[in-house]
Chains A and B, each alone.
Chain A
Amino acid sequence: MSEYALTNEPELAATWAPKKGVLGWLSETGHKEIGLRYIVTAMCFFAVAGIEAAFMRLQLSRPDNTLLGPDMYNQLFTMHGTTMMFLFAVPVMEGMGIYLVPLMVGTRNVAFPRLNAFGYFVYLFGGIFLYTMFFLGAGADAGWFAYVPLSGPTFSPGKRVDTWSQMITFTELSALVVAIEITVTAFKQRAPGMSLNRIPLFVWSMIVTAFMIIFAMPSVMLDSGYLALDRLIATHFFNQSEGGDTILYQHFFWFFGHPEVYIIFIPALGFISMILSAFTGRKIFGYPVMVSSLVFTGFMAFGLWVHHMFATGLPQLGESFFTAASMIISIPTGVQIFCWIATIWTGRLVVRTPLLYVIGFFVVFIIGGLSGVMIASVPLDLQLHDTFFIVAHFHYVLIGGAVFPLFAAFHFWFPKMTGRMFSERLGRISFWLLLIGFNVTFFPMHLLGLMGMPRRIYTYGPQMGWTFLNQLASAGAVFIVASIVIMLTNFWLSRRSGVLAGNNPWNADSLEWSVSSPPPPYNFLHIPVVSGPNAVWDAAPDQPYVVGMRTHRREVLVTKTLDAEPSHREEIPGHSIVPLILALTTTFALWGAIFFAWWFTLGAILSAVVLLFWFWPKREDVEEHLENERKFTMKRGGEVTA
């Protein structure tokens, strides 16, 4: 490996090395560390929301149960929904994106490392805020959707809904940050040769997701912002009697809320493509169709929000439009499923835990997709809306369509992230428990909905005939809990004692598999050059790579958006404690505002001061830049001064 002499590896490693100590840990800006923090934090919230769900299943396991009163039950389902949507599902996908996208496109870090760290801390503090208030007795209790006027100042006095609406601001802020990171990293930092038609499908799915976040999240921030204003300083955005509009709230909410489902689901489609390609040993069939399906889904997702509002009594013509849109969106997903089946059909199959979870995805998700077509129909939706049928439907879509692929991805990339293999046996046990437990828990809910059981009821009478199916559902939850515990135990034990994984245990095709496991802090010793859609498989034995990157600075290579031709080197910041401090002042502003409006102003001023430090230039950097500029001007002086 004489080429290694071209790059000063020790210096590169020193430049990118994480700092030691607590302060070093708090000022980390590397994408892998931040990505893992997102994933671990999100899994903690997943566990908490799961415990909440277990309590709800206990409460519903008997008619007229008095385990939880209405007040606690209403808080629990609100916290469960809010946590799962805002603190687990979206952040965990973002975390996977933050970890994997830079590796897959062949760069050393995300585009704005400090902003990335800031996004994580804001997310973390938002979650801590929500749960602190919950344990102080101010748990949100107006549903994860918090419809007005129930969530308004008249019918929800106290701090409960304020907490909810402010928590939205935290998580949406962090989601927007991630979206910007992903978009810029994927468009401007791809390895040379990775033109748009060679981007791995997971990166495409994250690009589509990022754009959806950018367009969807502002809508819910408006909603929660207006709600907070209505509650805190007596504006009347949603106050019907003062000229506000209650239905407007629902439009804003679902204009975000429906794309939100796809923001969770589309990264999962990316996982499936990456995993299937590795386990069938061939490229995914119909790459252009797969990419256009993702993009088409992303656009269409903004055209069906009204199917959440069919019962509000909108004009019939408008409803038909949204029915048609809701049905059409199943075509691109259907096409992707057909392409995957074609991929398997012509491939060579290796069955390992990640593939089992992918099989679980097919078996479970298709049921959710089909029940989705049912509730796209207005007459059927009028019966099924807000019943347990919907609870069944969206758990089939979100657990089947996102959590099964996510767990597949956890098992698939675990060797890359930790350098060690997990136990295949425990992996298979946890898969089967989840598959069985999931179906036993959620399938009966379809029937419960048809038999008249509405959502969000804390109790029901024995004469309703819902007892047996509820008991079945509660029993199934035990299997789910066992499965998750076994999976996490497997990961916990294997990260220290598993068999060493090597660079590419699955013989997969994307760039992250070309480096050591876990990847070095700088990711790639040399920025790779890509010569096909399957970067690793298509690489020649003497594949060229990029030389000339400085090693004593954190530099990334910026390339052109379409063809990924090299454009220039860009220096990016390293460690910094400022993102944490800015996240703290932001938290102060948002948390304080629900008690006293002026605290928001104070927090904003503090944040502005912190931003001064954020943007403050370093003397040596400026001098080096000036030095470079002088050299540059001298070299090309004649041409420049004409």
Chain B
Amino acid sequence: MNGRAHSLLPRRAGEKVPQADEGAPPHPALRATLSPQAGRGLLVVGGIQSALNPAGVQAASIHSLWHVFLWVSVAVYVITVAFFFLALIKAHRRTAPLDDPGTERRMTIAVSTGAVITAVTLISLLVADVATGHTIGTLGRNGAKKIEIEVTGHQWWWEVTYPNAESDKIIKTANEIHIPTGQPILFRVTTRDVIHSLWMPNLHGKRDLIPGRVNKFWIEADRAGVFRGQCAEYCGMQHANMALVVVAESPSDFSRWQEHQRTPAPDPQTPEQKRGQQAFLSLPCVNCHAVTGTDAYATLGPDLTHIATRTTLAAGELINNKGNLSGWISNAPSIKPGVQMPANVMDAQQVNDVVAYLESLR
């Protein structure tokens, strides 16, 4: 399971980082999310971020609409081009152009018929389009139970919040969204810097994240699986490396994940982890990151409270393992040029300690 997730999900194990830990077993939380059903989705190479492999009702109805448009277009193309080539052949065999009122009249009738057929076809497509738009727009509006997820775009990562009236039940995470299957979910999206666009093609079309505005859309996954989303609006240097993982899981798995994420970060156990925590809290890390239950509460960078449960690092660019984590925390800009996270001056001991601490944040 780990091998498959590794080859299909995150981008690469950055060339400049140590690769010692690639074979490590997956985090329990990840193992939990990769149900056999999810594995099936992953078997389709490239299908984890595809409009052609719908896993939600919105994406499925767009997919059906796509088929309508596709086959109508193919028919229109074949017919038009056939008439065009027929005309070419006829004209090629002729020695002088036809110039009589009868021909002109027949051509007038033919062109008018073509225009009427075009108009009727377009109107039919318009009806299909508006119907699909209506389905997508109204889905889940009246559902009794709904889950809200807030996504805030940053250059170049996704801040994900599960709001709750009780402040200790708010979940903050990054670059990974968990959703239960079979339930309508309301996304509220905005951005803290430039315009981004949240696109999870297996579930729905994209929606722009615009400064000063909150855009809303609904999704509903109808089968479990692990999917990939990516920023679709050009947002600067690392637009290509702004991805996220979407884990659709059964409602019970989802509640388990939710309960776990609501707990504060576990306290460090081993001496290594303890030293790591101290280093983390004294290094510049705390200027940007938060770990619930410690003195780190900055919000410029991703919340790290449960970072060890996440599949990827650097917004989908790296698999979350010890080697990549060490490389990332010591010299992020060498892996992702332009990234806001600076290179940190640490000796090997410190790097090991901090990695050990971060890996304990389950």
Residues on A lying within 8 angstroms of B by beta carbon are 64, 69-71, 74, 142-143, 147, 149-150, 154-155, 240-241, 246-247, 280-282, 285-286, 289, 311-313, 316, 319-320, 323-324, 327-328, 330-331, 334-335, 337-339, 341-342, 344-349, 351, 359, 362-363, 366-367, 370-371, 373-374, 376-387, 450-452, 454-461, 463-466
Candidates B12, B115, B132; contact of A379 at CB < 8 Å: B132
Question: Contact at B234–A147, with CB atoms within 8 Å?
Answer: yes
Contact with A along B203-219 (1 / 0, CB 8 A): 01111101111011100
Question: Contact at A383–B62, with CB atoms within 8 Å?
Answer: yes
Question: Contact at A335–B115, with CB atoms within 8 Å?
Answer: yes
Provide the bound-state CA to CA distance between A165 and B317, in Å.
33
Q: How far is the CB of B282 from chain A (nearest CB, A)?
A: 31
Question: Contact at A380–B107, with CB atoms within 8 Å?
Answer: no
**Which of A246, A247, A312, A341 has most B Cβ within 10 Å?**
A341
Q: If the complex has contacts A331-B122, A386-B232, A386-B233, are A346 and B69 also in contact, measured as CB distance less than 8 A?
A: no
Q: If the complex has contacts A150-B194, A313-B215, A452-B49, are A383 and B99 also in contact, measured as CB distance less than 8 A?
A: no
Q: How far is the CB of B15 from chain A (nearest CB, A)?
A: 9
Question: Contact at A330–B122, with CB atoms within 8 Å?
Answer: yes
Some 14 contacts from A to B, beta carbons below 8 A apart, are A150-B236, A155-B236, A286-B108, A320-B130, A342-B87, A345-B91, A349-B94, A351-B92, A363-B81, A373-B122, A379-B136, A451-B46, A458-B239, A464-B49
Instruction: Please give me the residue from chain B that is nearest to A344 by CB atom.
Output: B87
Chain A residues with CB below 8 A from B45, complex form:
463, 465
Contact with A along B121-139 (1 / 0, CB 8 A): 0100110011011001100
Provide the bound-state CA to CA distance between A461 and B126, in Å.
37
Chain B residues with CB below 8 A from A381, complex form:
205
Q: Which 7 pairs show the lowest CB-CB distances between chains A and B?
A: A465-B46, A382-B205, A457-B240, A452-B49, A349-B91, A461-B11, A282-B97
Question: Contact at B92–A349, with CB atoms within 8 Å?
Answer: yes
Question: Contact at B115–A451, with CB atoms within 8 Å?
Answer: no
Question: Contact at A149–B195, with CB atoms within 8 Å?
Answer: yes
Q: How far is the CB of A538 from chain B (nearest CB, A)?
A: 13
Candidates B84, B88, B194, B234; contact of A149 at CB < 8 Å: B194
Given contacts A327-B122, A371-B73, A450-B51, 19 further A-B contacts (CB under 8 A): A143-B234, A281-B97, A311-B208, A313-B217, A319-B133, A330-B118, A339-B111, A342-B110, A345-B90, A346-B103, A370-B76, A373-B122, A374-B69, A374-B73, A377-B133, A383-B205, A451-B50, A454-B239, A465-B46
Q: How far is the CB of A351 from chain B (nearest CB, A)?
A: 7
Provide the bound-state CA to CA distance between A379 and B64, in Å.
11
Candidates B9, B77, B201, B210; contact of A383 at CB < 8 Å: B201
Instruction: Please give me the residue from chain A that is nearest to B189 by CB atom.
Output: A313
Q: Kindly state whether residue B183 has any CB partner on chain A within 8 Å.
A: no
Question: Contact at A344–B91, with CB atoms within 8 Å?
Answer: yes
Chain A residues with CB below 8 A from B114, complex form:
334-335, 338
Contact with A along B300-320 (1 / 0, CB 8 A): 000000000000000000000
Chain B residues with CB below 8 A from A319, complex form:
133
**Which of A320, A386, A461 has most B Cβ within 10 Å?**
A461
Q: How far is the CB of A217 from chain B (nearest CB, A)?
A: 24
Q: Kindly state whether residue B338 has any CB partner on chain A within 8 Å.
A: yes
Instruction: Please give me the residue from chain A that is nearest to B338 by CB atom.
Output: A70
Question: Contact at A348–B50, with CB atoms within 8 Å?
Answer: no
Residues on B lying within 8 angstroms of A by beta carbon are 7-12, 45-47, 49-52, 59, 61-62, 65-66, 69-70, 73, 76-77, 80-81, 83-84, 86-88, 90-92, 94-99, 103-104, 107-108, 110-111, 114-115, 118-119, 122, 125-126, 129-130, 132-133, 136-137, 155, 193-195, 197, 199, 201, 204-208, 210-213, 215-217, 228, 230-241, 337-338
Q: How far is the CB of A627 from chain B (nearest CB, A)?
A: 54
Instruction: Please give me the residue from chain B that is nearest to A282 by CB atom.
Output: B97
Q: If the complex has contacts A69-B337, A337-B80, A452-B230, are A377 and B97 also in contact, measured as CB distance less than 8 A?
A: no
Question: Contact at A316–B240, with CB atoms within 8 Å?
Answer: no
Instruction: Please give me the residue from chain A that is nearest to B211 by CB atom.
Output: A240
Candidates B97, B201, B230, B240; contact of A346 at CB < 8 Å: B97
Provide the bound-state CA to CA distance between A247 and B338, in Å.
26
Provide the bound-state CA to CA distance between A342 and B49, in Å.
45
Question: Contact at B50–A71, with CB atoms within 8 Å?
Answer: no
Instruction: Please give me the residue from chain A that is nearest to B94 by CB atom.
Output: A348
Question: Contact at B97–A382, with CB atoms within 8 Å?
Answer: no
Instruction: Please give me the residue from chain B that is nearest to A73 by CB atom.
Output: B240
Candidates B59, B62, B81, B91; contact of A347 at CB < 8 Å: B91
Chain A residues with CB below 8 A from B73, complex form:
370-371, 373-374
Question: Contact at B137–A454, with CB atoms within 8 Å?
Answer: no
Q: If the complex has contacts A327-B122, A347-B91, A457-B239, are A286 and B111 also in contact, measured as CB distance less than 8 A?
A: yes
Q: If the complex has contacts A459-B240, A463-B7, are A377 and B197 also in contact, measured as CB distance less than 8 A?
A: no
Chain A residues with CB below 8 A from B193, complex form:
149, 154-155
Question: Contact at B118–A373, with CB atoms within 8 Å?
Answer: no
Instruction: Please give me the residue from chain A that is nearest to B131 by CB atom.
Output: A379
Q: How far is the CB of A463 from chain B (nearest CB, A)?
A: 5
